[in-house]
């Protein structure tokens, strides 16, 4: 009996759940074969391959709808990235696939694949971050390369989800920060600063040249990687010294964060940084940047809170 004859026979069954189970069994091998070709070209990790395959096998959508989505993925649904802010990853998908991207099946797939963080094959414990496998899966010529997080049409993408780190520092306590401050400004009446905001409150009343010298030495002493030293120094020197501490804090964060991004981009040789606002859902706001200008327009920079207890404070990025 052929598959067509079997389907014709079981189509007369009124139990939808039973029909779905029968269809899953009949077409399981077909789905596995179709997906296998896609995975090999995209360098999807072994565990993720199994997870995605099982998603398609077990999902409640019809076989024809599954094949339609899989064929779109095989063709490549994201052709290129453009800097800017977007409502979700769906805005990046080529208009050719507008009917497919609106289906519940495709949205379920995105939310399923987005959190997958399996280790890359042959790279030991080196794991993928949230969103990386998803971009490689649905992008045109998408894959998971050795250097950048993901790649679409030969363009490297650094992927960050919800305050992803772009620079880290060694641990420091509020008492140590105050000691550093007093080396430059003498006795300070204020209590030990607990975060970067409180440091800025102290600095706004100080001489700009000395304040910047303190910041440069304070942060350079605690960087975790040498390549960060130059961009941090340049960023602090170029920051506009405002007498309102909120503005000073923002100016330093933006200036340092931008220089760090550009150095980070050069070191890891990617073309774009893509930031997801929420780490839980694939259909969250995203920002994409490639240059100094569009980085400042679409990316929010946080961090430099050097005194947050036991955990060293990083510089992080999120959607602006």
pLDDT digits (tens, 9 = 90+) for 178-234: 888 999 999 988 888 888 888 999 999 899 999 999 999 988 888 888 999 999 999
State yes or no: pLDDT of 286 exceeds 60.
yes
State yes or no: pLDDT of 157 exceeds 70.
yes
CA dihedral in degrees (320, 227, 290, 75; nearest 10)?
A: -110
What was the pLDDT predicted at 23? 62
Residue 304 has a CB neighbour count (10 Å cut-off) of: 24
State yes or no: pLDDT of 121 exceeds 70.
no
What was the pLDDT predicted at 170? 81
Q: Which residue is it, tokens 């609106």?
A: 102
Q: What is the Cα–Cα distance from 288 to 78, expressed in whole angstroms? A: 14
Confirm if 128 and 117 have CB atoms less than 8 A apart: yes
What was the pLDDT predicted at 79? 94
Confirm if 264 and 288 have CB atoms less than 8 A apart: no
Bigger pLDDT: 248 vs 173:
248
Percent of the chain with pLDDT over 90: 52
CA dihedral in degrees (245, 262, 81, 47; nearest 10)?
A: -100
Residues sharing a CB contact under 8 Å with residue 309, sequence separation 6 or more, in sequence order: none
Residue 13 has a CB neighbour count (10 Å cut-off) of: 10
State yes or no: pLDDT of 130 exceeds 80.
yes
Strand partners, 143: 151
List of long-range contacts for 29-34, beta carbons under 8 Å, 24+ apart: 30/63, 31/56, 31/57, 31/63, 31/66, 31/70, 32/57, 34/67, 34/70, 34/74
**Which tokens hold the place of 226?**
């040498």
Confirm if 192 and 174 have CB atoms less than 8 A apart: yes
pLDDT, tens digit, 9 for 90 and up, residues 48-97: 999 999 999 889 888 889 999 999 999 999 999 999 999 999 999 999 99
pLDDT, tens digit, 9 for 90 and up, residues 4-55: 665 565 555 555 555 565 566 666 777 888 888 888 788 888 899 999 999 9
CA distances from 250 to 96, 163, 166, 176 (A): 41, 16, 17, 23
What was the pLDDT predicted at 18? 55
- Give the range among 120-129, 181-190, 231-240 with minimum mean pLDDT: 120-129
Domain boundaries defined on the chain:
3-165, 167-268+295-319
Nearest to 277 by CA among 130, 161, 133: 161
């Amino acid at each position: 009996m052929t598959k067509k004859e079997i389907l014709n026979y079981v189509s007369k069954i009124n139990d939808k759940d039973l029909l779905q189970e029968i269809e899953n069994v009949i077409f399981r091998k077909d789905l596995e074969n179709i997906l296998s070709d896609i995975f090999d070209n995209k360098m999807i990790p072994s565990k993720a391959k199994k997870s995605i395959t099982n998603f398609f096998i077990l999902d409640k959508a019809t076989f024809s709808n599954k094949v339609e989505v899989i064929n779109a993925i095989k063709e490549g649904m994201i052709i290129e990235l453009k800097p800017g802010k977007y409502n979700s990853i769906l805005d990046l998908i080529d208009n050719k696939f507008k009917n497919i991207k609106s289906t519940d099946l495709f949205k379920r797939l995105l939310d399923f694949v987005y959190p997958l963080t399996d280790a890359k094959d042959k790279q030991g414990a080196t794991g993928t971050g949230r969103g990386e496998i998803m971009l490689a899966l649905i992008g045109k010529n998408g894959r998971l390369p050795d250097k950048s997080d993901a790649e679409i049409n030969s363009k490297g993408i650094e992927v960050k989800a919800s305050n992803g780190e772009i620079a880290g520092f060694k641990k420091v306590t509020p008492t140590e920060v105050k000691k550093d401050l007093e080396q430059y400004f003498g006795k300070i009446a204020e209590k030990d600063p607990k975060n970067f905001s409180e440091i800025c409150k102290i600095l706004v009343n100080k001489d700009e040249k000395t304040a910047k010298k303190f910041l440069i030495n304070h942060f350079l002493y605690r960087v975790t990687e040498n390549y960060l030293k130059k961009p941090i120094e340049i960023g602090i020197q170029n920051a506009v010294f405002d007498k309102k501490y909120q503005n000073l804090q923002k100016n330093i964060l933006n200036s340092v964060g931008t220089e760090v991004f550009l150095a980070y981009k050069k070191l890891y040789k990617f073309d774009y940084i893509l930031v997801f606002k929420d780490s839980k859902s694939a259909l969250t706001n995203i920002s994409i940047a490639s240059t100094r200008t569009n980085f400042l327009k679409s990316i929010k920079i946080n961090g430099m809170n050097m005194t947050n207890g036991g955990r060293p404070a990083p510089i992080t990025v999120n959607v602006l």
